[in-house]
Chains A and B, each alone.
With several copies, the nearest count.
Chain A
């Protein structure tokens, strides 16, 4: 009790093709209840998780994108997105469903060094 650790959740995988994005989000929601210092990083294909305009009707899969918008209610508001990943995918921060901080890979690498726990999905 009282001990606060820095947890960073590293997301590098596209949504829907595999379950990692969805199940990673479930971890973050639970983690929010533990009063730790939580941040999420989206690198490489992980940036696709935040691409707005999702419509999953035709693949009959639940659209979990609204959950990202609810993160702020859980006090999870440190969302970092890799600049190089956005650029290689023709995306900008304006294409994403939530406000984020765009950082370079090197800046993200530096932030990683400051963490106590890194969980990657």
Chain B
């Protein structure tokens, strides 16, 4: 089954980002296709390559990048939400791309399921 995911909150601040990641991993493990993860609202903050969490904590941004490296998961950051929050190509982490809201609607149209994680 083709599943897309919408992430509305930033890393660390809200569990939404963790839940979305663990859900994506579990879906892939079950043999589903996670075609796209769309980052909106503060969710765009998941895409900054400048994040440096404490050594003993998970690295949320790297985790997403690794997911996109290992699987054909399209990590899309909403351009309008990103500009408002200071996420641009110059601080974008590997595996993410910046694009328009149309990519969210398209994900909704093409996927069998769309699951939202937010606040």
Contacts and interface: CB of A to CB of B under 8 A. Distances in A.
Contacts of B6: 119
A103 interface: no
A120 B80 CA distance: 18
Contact of B108 (A20, A59, A117, A120): A117
Contacts of B116: 118-120
Contacts, number: 67
A31 interface: yes
A106 interface: no
Contact of B13 (A18, A31, A61, A119): A18
Given A60-B18, A120-B116, A34 B105 contact: yes
A60 B58 contact: yes
A30 B54 CA distance: 16
Interface string A59-83: 1111000000000000000000000
Q: Interface residues of B: mostly helix, strand, loop or mixed? A: mixed
Contacts of A18: 13-15
Interface of B: 6, 8, 12-15, 18, 22, 40-41, 54, 56-58, 80-81, 100-102, 104-106, 108-109, 114, 116, 118
Given A19-B41, A26-B80, A120-B118, 13 more contacts: A18-B13, A19-B12, A30-B101, A30-B104, A31-B105, A34-B102, A34-B106, A59-B15, A59-B18, A61-B58, A117-B114, A119-B114, A121-B118
